[in-house]
């Protein structure tokens, strides 16, 4: 990759980000947020699959013009 393609940045040290040991409330909040993100991702995948099935039906049984998922 050309030199101009690399963005130079500095990561803050772990100590700069930390505010002490994680408390049980912090852990519960992260688990809750992660669970919500997983649900959102699963719903997005379901919507994408439904769109794909709808597009295939609209194109007819041949499926001409409808891209196939990778790996098939």
| Residue with more model confidence, 44 or 65 | 44
Q: Does the structure show a pLDDT above 90 at 6?
A: no
Q: How far is residue 56's CA from residue 50's CA, in Å, rounded to a whole number? A: 10
Instruction: Enter the pTM of the model.
Output: 0.52
Q: What is the per-residue pLDDT for 23?
A: 86
CB 55 within 8 A of CB 66: yes
pLDDT at position 1 is 46
Report whether 47 contacts 58 (CB < 8 A): no
Residues 18-58: tens digit of each pLDDT: 677 778 998 999 999 999 999 999 999 999 999 999 988 88
What does the domain layout of the chain look like in residue ranges?
23-58
């Amino acid at each position: 990759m050309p030199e101009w393609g690399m963005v130079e940045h500095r990561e803050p040290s772990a100590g700069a980000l930390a505010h002490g040991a994680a408390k049980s409330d912090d852990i519960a909040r992260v688990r809750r947020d992660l669970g919500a993100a997983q649900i959102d991702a699963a719903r997005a995948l379901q919507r994408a699959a439904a769109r794909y099935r709808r597009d295939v039906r609209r194109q007819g049984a041949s499926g001409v013009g409808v891209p196939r998922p990778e790996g098939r």
